[in-house]
Amino acid sequence: MTVILGENVASFKLSVKGRETEELDLLPKKQHCEAHLNFLSGELAGADFPLEKGKMLIIGRDPWKANLILDEPKISRTHLMVSYDSIKEKYSIQDLHSRHGVFLNGNRIQPGCTVILKDSNSKIDLGEDGVSILFQEL
């Protein structure tokens, strides 16, 4: 699996069902990110993805539309968008009309609506029993 998070990002292979793993840094050491997505479950459990202001992150199964690909049964082709609101100076998420929904701290968000991440430790669930992600802001 190759994960791409923008132009300054390395890719890595993920160990799935006993296959060999090779992990690389996702961002060069000199760059500093103020927010991260920590995957709590799913095929990327334990992975930490830095977020860059000004870069939109789309999570989904479709490699042509998403820039973070998750090959999970409850993940839609384009499931979730994470972006930075420069006016409010906060990160936000949007359910991209996914089939199984997006939950923020246990509450389902409306498809197509943008929700500001007010808490620095917000839990995002992709589907009720799908992938769990912890949003953390430094």
Q: Picking from 18-22, 85-89, 103-107, 122-126, which range would have the lowest pLDDT averaged per residue?
A: 18-22
Q: Hey, what are 49's tokens?
A: 């993805």
Instruction: State the burial class of residue 43 (Cβ atoms within 10 Å of its Cβ: 0-12, 13-18, 19+).
Output: middle
Predicted structure pTM score: 0.77
Average pLDDT, the chain: 82
Q: In angstroms, what CA-CA distances link 69 with 61, 85, 92, 111, 133?
A: 5, 23, 19, 20, 14
Tens digit of each residue's pLDDT (9 = 90 or more) over 71-107: 998 999 999 999 999 988 999 999 999 999 999 999 9
Q: What is the pLDDT of residues 25-36, one digit of tens each?
A: 444 443 457 899
